[in-house]
Amino acid sequence: MKKLRLWPHILRTSRNEATLWEENTMKLNRRIFLGTSAAAAASLAAPMSFAAGHGKPHVVVVGGGAGGATAARYIAKDSKGEVAVTLIEPTRQYYTCFFSNLYLGGFKEMDDLGHSYGGLAAGGVNVVHDWATGVDREAKTVALAGGGSVSYDKLILSPGIDFVDGAVEGWDLSAQNAMPHAYKGGSQTELLKAQLMAMPEGGTFAMVAPPNPYRCPPGPYERVSMVAHYLKANNPTAKIIVADPKPKFSKMALFQEGWAENYGGMIDWIGEDFGGGNVSVDPAAMTVSIDGEVTKVDVCNVIPAMKAGRIAELAGVTDGNWAPVNAADMSTKADADVYVLGDAAQQGDMPKSGYSANSQAKVCANAVRGALTGSKVFPAKFSNTCWSLIDTDNGVKVGATYEATDEKIAKVDGFISATGEAAELRKATYEESEGWYAGITADMFGA
Amino acid sequence: MRIALTVALALGMSGVAQADGLGDAEKGAKVFTQCKGCHQVGEGAETRIGPHLNGVFGRAAGSLEDVRYSPSMKRMGSDGMVWDAATLDAYIENPRALVSKTRMSFRGIKDAQERSDLLAYLRIYSDNPADIPEAEPTALGTDHDIDPAILAIQGDPEYGEYLASECKTCHQSSGANDGIPSITLWPTEDFVVAMHAYKRKLRPHPVMQMISGRLNDEEIAALAAYFKDLEE
Ligand SMILES: Cc1cc2nc3c(=O)[nH]c(=O)nc-3n(C[C@H](O)[C@H](O)[C@H](O)COP(=O)(O)OP(=O)(O)OC[C@H]3O[C@@H](n4cnc5c(N)ncnc54)[C@H](O)[C@@H]3O)c2cc1C
């Protein structure tokens, strides 16, 4: 337990504290967190207690991203003070992954992507900047890295993703400075951009794409587009290689059309059929081996296979890499008082996106509030739309609506942009995505 | 007199007469007097307050060069809305319900027969009438009129608030428009008619068609009731 108390000063120093925490706890977490038994939690509870008091039901939300911030805000707002809401989130500024590719392409500044928790606090959410380090489901408490614990009536976990150990041969988290994933917001994104800008003339940018399922299915391919956009203007003889373990990917026809039209000859996508899944990297030598062929590269963006954020596993609500949930309210199959939202959830047909996490959070908030206060619970409705930018004023989108069945969240209806659309429409689609970004971030953070 | 003659001539040349289920062009010529203050049609027609209406069937909305269209009309055009019997009928019935902030300050024609006659008249001046894209036969005529019973539904604002949470991922509750239009503080009738225009695919936008497609009449009424008073 002593070790836990050492962390906070490390944690508050950088934008991407999540990553630091991972580095620091990789070795520790199994031993310590799995040991957060009822007894350990009880001893932690003594110094600091957030138990809501006044007999109000208490909801604890872990993770202030697309799912967690939305859920906390909606429960606090809609219950009008009847439910106490505590949000546990280590970072003081949330940097969105959505639109981070546009930052790589030069369409957004880093500051455009940062959001504070001031609006949530003003809306009545008790925001605690700390890590949740364990969950005792019997005692219904969450342990904090800074010491102490918080007790809950209902617990909502929306911790996003972590990476599967050993997913890409030669890469682990200690290599993330040499070969960034840039798949969590903040400093990793900045690092990748800096490396892109420092590429020598005619250099090579490599991406190792992830296997399904992963957060933001079109994300890697929008990134390739944005990197190509940057290189076309600044380093036009540079090349992009993508090693992909999948035979096809989201919006593939749209991306491939866009790549051919705008970035002809620059992007070499190597799919599963051509050995794109047979990859290893050497971060010290800056080489990538694809199907036995070794290439020296200047930038290597490794996006490994993903799993639910570790706290879900520590809470014991995962099965394999993800946390199975009930579609009607996002409660876990393992525990009716623990809910999992967003990327970490295994829910059925919805893609892992910020939009999906936000949509699931509202269904969950309605159900949790109903369970605690007796307010009316309406049937679950979910939707998602993912926009991607291919080039300046060239936006495309894919979307669907979903409903809850006994078995899963099931797709109802959907649409996708068509190839060969008029420039006007593509521009309107891009402008709409800007509207969506403003809308969803206002919806998450309340300002 | 002169109009009647032109009509007769045009009908004679094109030979499409009323085979397309539209109304009586001669009567339509009279209805067109309501439009004449702003629009011209026929030989030598020019854009005045409103765009000229030659060749309007089959033309993308807001697509004439040198016309200062409203941003909403432009948006409809780039979303893919083409003027055909169904979209014209909806626009003339209630311009704002189809194109929210249209600059056309005209209250609309409620009588379905009059609209049908008017369309028959306008159609004469569209090139090559045989190739004119038609709406689905089922959408022709008047069946997209919103049933007054639907407009009369009293929405449940509490349900509306829950349903509205889906909308707020894109439409800001502050009413700000950063690329997606504001939907707060609308009169309920306009709101309901606009949602049904998406649901019936008269308005072209795929996201909104999908979203409205699974909302029933009560749900649309509930949303209208909630958003009409939403102020932050
Ligand atoms: C490059 C890229 C582009 C993308 N583009 C889009 C897009 O255009 N549209 C879209 O909809 N989605 C997009 N996404 C996906 C989107 O970012 C995620 O799906 C979304 O953020 C998931 O929300 P979440 O709540 O599950 O996790 P997150 O938003 O990642 O939030 C998790 C939060 O939990 C915190 N946390 C983790 N562990 C703990 C712990 N133990 N204790 C306390 N706090 C913890 C983290 O600090 C973090 O703030 C993109 C992603 C990437 C990488």
Question: Burial of A27 by CB count in 10 Å (0-12 exposed, 13-18 middle, 19+ buried)?
Answer: exposed
The pLDDT of residue A381 is above 80 = yes
Burial of B5 (0-12, 13-18, 19+ CB in 10 A): exposed
pLDDT score of B130: 61
Check CB contact under 8 Å for A435 and B180. Answer: yes
- The pick from A190, A343, A364 for probing ligand 1's pocket by mutation, whose C-beta has the most ligand atoms within 8 angstroms, reads A343
Region A294-310: mean pLDDT is: 98
Does A358 map to a domain?
A: yes
Asked which of A304, A330, A365 is the last residue of a domain, the reply is A304
Residues B170 and B93 in one domain: no
**How close is the Cα of B229 to the center of ligand 1, in Å?**
33
Q: Measuring CA to CA, which residue among A398, A356, A358, A394 is closest to residue A70?
A: A358
Task: Identify whether A339 is part of a domain.
Answer: yes
Last residue of a domain, one of B106, B131, B156: B131
Q: Is the same domain home to B109 and B180?
A: no
Amino acid at A370: G
3-class SS at B60?
strand
Which string of DSSP letters, residue by residue, matches A237-272? T-EEEEE-SSS--TTHHHHHHHHHHHSTTTEEEE-G
Report the side by side order of strands in the sheet with A279-282: A279-282, A287-290, A293-296
In order, the DSSP letters of B193-204 are HHHHHHHTTSS-
Mean pLDDT of B176-201: 92
Give the distance from residue B58's alpha carbon to the nearest chain A alpha carbon, in angstroms: 17
Greater model confidence, A52 or A436: A436
Q: What is the pLDDT of residues B22-77, one digit of tens each?
A: 899 999 999 999 999 899 999 999 999 999 999 999 999 999 998 999 999 999 99
Q: Do A415 and B206 touch (CB under 8 A)?
A: yes
Is the domain of A194 the same as that of A126? no
Are B82 and B161 within one domain?
no
Candidates B162, B163, B210; nearest CB to A399: B210
The boundaries of the domain holding residue A260 are 172-304
For residues B124 and B173, state if they share a domain.
no
Which pLDDT band holds residue A47 (cuts at 50, 70, 90)?
Answer: very low
Domain enclosing residue B209, as ranges: 148-228
The amino acid that residue A207 corresponds to is: M
Specify the higher pLDDT residue, A183 or B22. A183
In chain A, what residues touch B162 (CB-CB under 8 Å)? 362, 366, 378
Residues A243 and A322 in one domain: no
Are B70 and B164 within one domain?
no
**Nearest Cα to A445, choosing from A380, A354, A367?**
A354
Chain B nearest C-alpha distance from A56 (Å): 23
Binary contact (B78, A422; C-beta < 8 A): yes
**Whether the predicted pLDDT of A29 surpasses 70:** no
Count of other CB atoms within 10 angstroms of residue B136: 10
Closest partner residue to A358 (CB to CB) among B169, B179, B180 is B169
Judge whether A401 lies within some domain. no
Q: What is the pLDDT, as a whole number, of residue B231?
A: 81
Asked if A439's CB is within 8 angstroms of B171's CB, the reply is: yes
Q: Which residues of A touch chain B, with CB atoms under 8 Å apart?
A: 74, 78, 355, 358-359, 362, 366, 376, 378, 381, 383, 385, 397, 399-401, 412-415, 422, 424-425, 427-428, 431-440, 442-443
Contact flag B77-A433 (C-beta cutoff 8 Å): no
Mutate to test the interface with B, among A112, A359, A378, A427 (most CBs of B within 10 A): A378
* Complete DSSP assignment for B11-40: HHHH--TTTTS---HHHHHHHGGGTTTT--
The reported pLDDT for the residue numbered B232 is: 73
Residues A324 and A258 in one domain: no
Residues B125, B10, single domain; the answer is yes
Site to probe by mutation for ligand 1, drawn from A215, A249, A321, A387 as the one with most ligand atoms within 8 Å of Cβ, is: A215
- Residue A54 pLDDT grade (very low, low, confident, very high; cuts 50, 70, 90): low
Confidence of residue B149 (pLDDT cuts 50, 70, 90): confident
> Same domain for B162 and B62?
no
Strand A93-95 to strand A114-116: parallel, antiparallel, or no bridges (unpaired)? antiparallel
pLDDT band at A191 (very low <50, low <70, confident <90, very high): very high
Token pair of B157 as six digits: 């604002």
Which residues lie with the beta carbon below 6 Å from any ligand 1 atom? A 18, 62-68, 88-91, 94, 97-98, 100-101, 131-132, 158-160, 183, 215-216, 219, 223, 309, 311, 341-344, 352-355, 357, 386-387
Domain count for chain A: 2
| Within-domain flag for B138 | no
Q: Which residue of B has its CA nearest to A436?
A: B170
Candidates A383, A424, A433; nearest CB to B166: A383
CA distances from B108 to A129, B81, B92 (A): 57, 19, 5
First to last CA, chain B: 57
* A109 class by beta-carbon count within 10 Å (0-12 exposed, 13-18 middle, 19+ buried): exposed
Are B127 and B155 in a shared domain?
Answer: no
Is A436 in contact with B179 (Cβ distance < 8 A)? yes
A342: left (phi over 0), alpha (psi -120 to 50) or beta: left
pLDDT for the residue B128? 67
Least confident of A28-32, A129-133, A289-293, B136-140: A28-32
Same domain, B72 and B170: no
Q: What's the Cα-to-Cα distance from A346 to each of A162, A298, A353, rounded to whole Å?
A: 14, 36, 13
Looking up residue A155, the CATH number of its domain turns out to be: 3.50.50.60
Is B105 within the bounds of a domain? yes
> How high is the pLDDT of residue B148?
83
Q: Do B10 and B90 belong together in one domain?
A: yes
Number of structural domains chain B divides into: 2
Interface of B with A (CB under 8 A): 75, 77-80, 158-159, 161-163, 165-166, 168-174, 176-180, 206-207, 209-211, 213-214
Between B124 and A209, residue with greater pLDDT: A209
Of the candidates A252, A275, A304, which is a domain's last residue?
Answer: A304
- Of B101, B131, B161, the position where a domain reaches its end is B131
Question: Does residue B160 carry a pLDDT above 80?
Answer: yes
Q: What is the ipTM of this complex?
A: 0.84
pLDDT tens per residue across span A208-249: 999 999 999 999 999 999 999 999 999 999 999 999 999 999
Q: Same structural domain for residues A292 and A372?
A: no
Task: Quote the mean pLDDT of chain B.
Answer: 85
Spatial distance between the Cα atoms of A23 and A202, rounded to a whole number of angstroms: 34
pLDDT of residue A416: 96
**B127 shares its domain with B187:** no
What distance in Å separates residue A312's CA from the closest CA in chain B? 26
In angstroms, rounded to a whole number, what is the distance separating the alpha carbons of residues A243 and B16?
Answer: 59
